[in-house]
Amino acid sequence: MTPTPILDLDDISISYSGVARAVSSVSLRVMPGEVVGLIGESGSGKSTLAHSILGLLPASASVEGRHMRLNGQDLLAASANARRHLRGPGAAMVFQNPMATFSPLHRIGRQLMDFLWRDRASSPDEKRRRIIHALADAGISDPEARFDAYPFELSGGMLQRISIAAALLMQPALLIADEPTTALDVTMEAQILHLMRELRQRTGVSILMISHQLGVIAEICDRVAVMYAGRIVEEGPVERIFADPRHGYTKALLSCELSLVEDGAARLPAISWRDEPGEVRP
């Protein structure tokens, strides 16, 4: 029997009032334990899609489609209140800038306690123990001391580890990471990707990894969907996309990265907006 997908988007379109469609007829599945990459140029609709799953879109946005199932439950068919209850244990998000994830005014531990607000059965001491355990799992050394630290006392890499720990505290079935390493240097990036791989193995969490860096996608994903101008234009196992890209945008993206590796002076290919979207001009 095929397992139920953790995330199942069917024909989802999203518009902001007064702006052309940001997401057009997107269908995408993430299976249990799978890491799916969502790659695409700036403005192609990746964050809009991610925010719609978590209910983070502004009131000016409208979402329509056949279904948006999280853990088998359709968010589009649910009432606003039911949606909140489905989203909590369903999905959690890690954002691009770890500095913006935490308030600068409060200690880390106090902010992480807020992530456990749903858990009314545990005492504050139990919650503290769980948080310290989660920090240690995320590779934070001396987690007791970090519990009492302010965000400005920690590096960006450490804060991003703590954001991942915070997201996993809620034991979500799906972790959505929106460019989680873009604000970090390459050493930190490698450490964060290593941590995410390890946590996936240990907890079995599914991951939707948004990026425009092919290296990040190659490092961690099983499958990749390529977004271009609001649509998914290509999807497949990560090896296939790298070995045999079919859409113009994917080809252009790969050849940009390859030409930088092989010949820094090579001309970058451009995709024309006047022609059919996706057509590549050398």
Ligand X SMILES: Nc1ncnc2c1ncn2[C@@H]1O[C@H](COP(=O)(O)OP(=O)(O)OP(=O)(O)O)[C@@H](O)[C@H]1O
Instruction: Give residues in contact with ligand X (CB under 6 A).
Output: 16, 19, 22, 40, 42-48, 58, 60, 212
Using the contact rule CB under 5 A, the part of the chain among 17-25, 42-50, 76-84, 238-246 near Mg ion is 42-50
Q: Report how many residues bind Mg ion under the rule CB under 5 A.
A: 1
Q: In the 3-class helix/strand/coil scheme, how is the chain assigned residue by residue? A: CCCCCCEEEEEEEEEECCCCCCEEEEEEEECCCCEEEEEECCCCCHHHHHHHHHCCCCCCEEEECCEEEECCEECCCCCHHHHHHHHHHHEEEECCCHHHHCCCCCCHHHHHHHHCCCCCCCCHHHHHHHHHHHHHHCCCCCHHHHHCCCHHHCCHHHHHHHHHHHHHHCCCCEEEEECCCCCCCHHHHHHHHHHHHHHHHHHCCEEEEEECCHHHHHHHCCEEEEEECCEEEEEEEHHHHHHCCCCHHHHHHHHHHHHHHHCCCCCCCEECCCCCCCCEEC
CB of 40 to ligand X, least distance (A): 6
CB of 46 to Mg ion, least distance (A): 5
Amino acid at 164: I
| Contacted by 42, from ligand X, Mg ion, none: CB < 5 to 8 Å by type | ligand X
| Contacted by 127, from Mg ion, ligand X, none: CB < 5 to 8 Å by type | none
| Contacted by 151, from ligand X, Mg ion, none: CB < 5 to 8 Å by type | none
CB of 91 to ligand X, least distance (A): 17
| Contacted by 111, from ligand X, Mg ion, none: CB < 5 to 8 Å by type | none
Which residue number has the CB closest to Mg ion?
Answer: 47
The first and second tokens of residue 148, run together, are 């009492």
CB of 183 to Mg ion, least distance (A): 13
| Contacted by 109, from Mg ion, ligand X, none: CB < 5 to 8 Å by type | none
Nearest CB to ligand X, comparing residues 149 and 256: 256
CB of 60 to ligand X, least distance (A): 6
**47 sits near Mg ion (criterion: CB under 5 A):** yes
Using the contact rule CB under 5 A, the part of the chain among 47-55, 140-148, 196-204, 262-270 near Mg ion is 47-55
| Interface residues toward Mg ion, by CB under 5 A | 47
